Amino acid sequence: MILIIDFGSQYNQLIARRVREAHVYCQIEAPGITLAQIKGISPEGIILSGGPASIYEKGSPRVDPGIFDLGIPVLGICYGMQYMVDSLGGEVSKAEKREYGFAELNIKDAAGIFEGIDDQTRCWMSHGDTIRRVPKGFRITASTANTRVAATHNSRKRFYGLQFHPEVVHTPKGKNMFRNFLFTICGCRKTWTMKSFIRESVQEMRSVIRDKKVILGLSGGVDSSVAALLIHRAVGNRLTCIFVDNGLLRQGEAEQVKGLFKKHFNVNLRFISARQQFLGRLKGVVDPEKKRKIIGRTFIQAFEKEAHKLRGVKFLAQGTLYPDVIESRSAFGGPSAVIKSHHNVGGLPKKMRLQLIEPLKHLFKDEVRVLGKELGLPDDLIWRQPFPGPGLAIRIISDITRARLSILRKVDAILLEEIRAGGLYKKLWQSFAVLLPLKSVGIMGDQRTYEHIVAIRAVTSIDAMTADWARLPHELLGRISNRVINEVKGVNRVVYDISSKPPSTIEWE
């Protein structure tokens, strides 16, 4: 395994992705990790990530320099390299010119990290500080026009430093550099596969859970579904999944979850029909944040009530993913990981004094998908677009009524059917309809109509932090509009949302 020390770079998750793609397991830890903890993990190699700080600034993040006496190979990237150089007696200072973007890398010594890579290759730079002098025992192994020390090493000690970022796609040979580090320098073997992950994770959960029971809130989304199947494989029907039908789901969704988990996978599933309760409390509520609060509270109550009926429950399982775990730790903080409450499960029953089980907490989303496939989940669930916890409630502007829900469900079903038929479902981050209970005039047959407006929203995005409106083909938009107006009573106008995030958001509420 490889240990990655997180100095706060926006790219550090990419480092972990590169290592895992090479089938080597890695873990990201904050710089506060102690030497004893590192020895306990006993990594084959250490990667020091980049970061926004300057090494000569007061309070800049540092890891115990004892790592350089462990006899383990170390790869420092950007700030990580500067930290290494500074710790071992070299000199770092402000660069005359900040360097950002592509640079041509001239490799002078191909041994080690650059093995098998052409003497000239492109790399991606992003730094304001530079190495003035390398420590004793180090050689300069590559330069760029602006940066004399673009790479350095002490091959006897197996310490390597790169000023550029090998983890980003803009460094085309970055993957080769990682492979050289992992396999040639550290001697890692390719043991990280989903099969091995399942085996180890099942074993670990069995030894922790033993004869006790676990509950899990199943939403029908990818993360909770994969977590449910993995735990089910470990402890069978000592896992109880609770699915709350809040009346705000899409057409056929509740039945799908029931059919798949109960009938197909034989998972112990408690299906709670709480539509009345949710819709009753949402009656007349217009404010989006109020809607969210009511839905969150009502969900917890329904979940708790059901959980209390079960005896011997000691564990609460959640489908928390690695990015949530990493982001909840500060680069400057200690090693203790405070897991932020995931906004999907916002503050699940604290009172219940249950121990948390988070079997996906070391996985990235794409790994969770591979895992889901391995566990037999159907493709349409694995590739499901995100759907917000408050469901259709935040896609009906103004207050929620059964009639409005019914209209939106029909529109949404048509939209998704057409998006799928057009082969676009997987390419879009999200595609959905929003009901605007405003009325506008139309004409149908020879009759004047006065009905609702529906907005179509389709966006592309990588992480929902930013998003762009999707350039859907006009023919497809035309087909959706025709079908909606013809097939859904109560709608006579369809509009397309062409706003990006920021300044808009993905959802309307």
Q: What totals of helices (H) and strands (E) does the chain contain, helices first?
A: 14, 18
Q: Write out the two tokens for 503.
A: 């300044």
Q: 120 or 505: whose CB is closer to ligand XMP?
A: 505
| 167: annotated active-site residue | yes
Give residues 420-459 in contact with ligand XMP (rule: CB under 6 A): 430
Residue at 300: amino acid letter: I
Count of chain residues binding ligand XMP (CB under 6 A)? 13
Using rule CB under 6 A, residue 144 touches ligand XMP: no
Stretch that binds ligand XMP, among 35-43, 52-60, 307-315, 498-506 (CB under 6 A): 498-506
Of the residues 82, 143, 344, 492, which one makes contact with ligand XMP according to CB under 6 A: 344
In the complex, what is the shortest distance from the CB of residue 507 to ligand XMP, in angstroms, rounded to a whole number? 3
Instruction: Report whether 187 contacts 1 (CB < 8 A).
Output: no
Stretch that binds ligand XMP, among 99-107, 305-313, 328-336, 384-392 (CB under 6 A): 384-392
Of the residues 343, 365, 420, 448, which one makes contact with ligand XMP according to CB under 6 A: 343
Q: 217 or 388: whose CB is closer to ligand XMP?
A: 388
In the complex, what is the shortest distance from the CB of residue 76 to ligand XMP, in angstroms, rounded to a whole number? 35
Cα–Cα distance measured from residue 364 to residue 20, given in angstroms and rounded to the nearest whole number: 10
Q: 60 or 344: whose CB is closer to ligand XMP?
A: 344
In the complex, what is the shortest distance from the CB of residue 388 to ligand XMP, in angstroms, rounded to a whole number? 3
Residue ranges of alpha helices (H) inside 237-283 are: 253-257, 275-282
Strand partners, 217: 242
Angle, in degrees to the nearest 10, between helices 402-421 and 474-487: 150
Of the residues 203, 266, 355, 505, which one makes contact with ligand XMP according to CB under 6 A: 505
| 78: annotated active-site residue | yes
3-state SS assignment for residue 207: helix
3-state SS assignment for residue 214: strand
Stretch that binds ligand XMP, among 131-139, 303-311, 325-333, 383-391 (CB under 6 A): 383-391
Q: Distance from CA of residue 101 to its chain's centroid?
A: 26
Q: What is the DSSP string of 132-177?
A: EEPPTT-EEEEE-SS-S-SEEEETTTTEEEESS-TTSTTSTTHHHH
Using rule CB under 6 A, residue 389 touches ligand XMP: yes
Of the residues 23, 132, 373, 501, which one makes contact with ligand XMP according to CB under 6 A: 501
What CA–CA distances, in Å, run from 147 to 103, 130, 143, 434? 9, 7, 6, 52
Half-sphere exposure of 397 (CA within 13 A, CB side): 14
Q: 389 or 490: whose CB is closer to ligand XMP?
A: 389
In the complex, what is the shortest distance from the CB of residue 424 to ligand XMP, in angstroms, rounded to a whole number? 17
Burial of 17 (0-12, 13-18, 19+ CB in 10 A): middle
Using rule CB under 6 A, residue 390 touches ligand XMP: yes
**Per-residue contact flags (x/-) with ligand XMP for residues 308 to 337, judged by CB under 6 A:** ------------------------------
Of 29, 44, 99, 165, the catalytic one is: 165
The radius of gyration of the chain's CA atoms, rounded to the nearest angstrom, is 27
Cα–Cα distance measured from residue 204 to residue 185, given in angstroms and rounded to the nearest whole number: 31
Instruction: Report whether 411 contacts 250 (CB < 8 A).
Output: no
In the complex, what is the shortest distance from the CB of residue 372 to ligand XMP, in angstroms, rounded to a whole number? 19
Q: Which helix (H) or strand (E) holds 434?
A: strand 430-444
Going by their DSSP bridges, the two strands 159-162 and 268-273 should be labelled as unpaired
Q: 294 or 506: whose CB is closer to ligand XMP?
A: 506
In the complex, what is the shortest distance from the CB of residue 321 to ligand XMP, in angstroms, rounded to a whole number? 14
Stretch that binds ligand XMP, among 3-11, 92-100, 388-396, 484-492 (CB under 6 A): 388-396
Give residues 38-77 in contact with ligand XMP (rule: CB under 6 A): none
3-state SS assignment for residue 72: coil
In the complex, what is the shortest distance from the CB of residue 463 to ligand XMP, in angstroms, rounded to a whole number? 9
Question: Which distant-in-sequence residues (6+ apart) come within 8 Å of 76 by Cβ?
Answer: 47, 48, 82, 83, 84, 85, 159, 160, 161, 162
Q: 374 or 507: whose CB is closer to ligand XMP?
A: 507
Burial of 316 (0-12, 13-18, 19+ CB in 10 A): buried
Q: 479 or 501: whose CB is closer to ligand XMP?
A: 501
In the complex, what is the shortest distance from the CB of residue 315 to ligand XMP, in angstroms, rounded to a whole number? 23
Stretch that binds ligand XMP, among 61-69, 195-203, 446-454, 500-508 (CB under 6 A): 500-508
| 165: annotated active-site residue | yes
Of the residues 70, 382, 413, 464, which one makes contact with ligand XMP according to CB under 6 A: 464
Question: Which distant-in-sequence residues (6+ apart) come within 8 Å of 122 by Cβ?
Answer: 102, 103, 104, 105, 170, 171, 172
In the complex, what is the shortest distance from the CB of residue 464 to ligand XMP, in angstroms, rounded to a whole number? 4
Give residues 273-302 in contact with ligand XMP (rule: CB under 6 A): 292
Strand partners, 161: 76, 152
Q: 64 or 507: whose CB is closer to ligand XMP?
A: 507
Strand partners, 46: 3, 74
Q: Write out the two tokens for 205.
A: 């959960």
Of 78, 186, 188, 241, the catalytic one is: 78
Of 29, 99, 167, 367, the catalytic one is: 167
Active site residues: 78, 165, 167
Q: Which residues bind ligand XMP (CB under 6 A)?
A: 292, 343-344, 386, 388-390, 430, 464, 501, 505-507
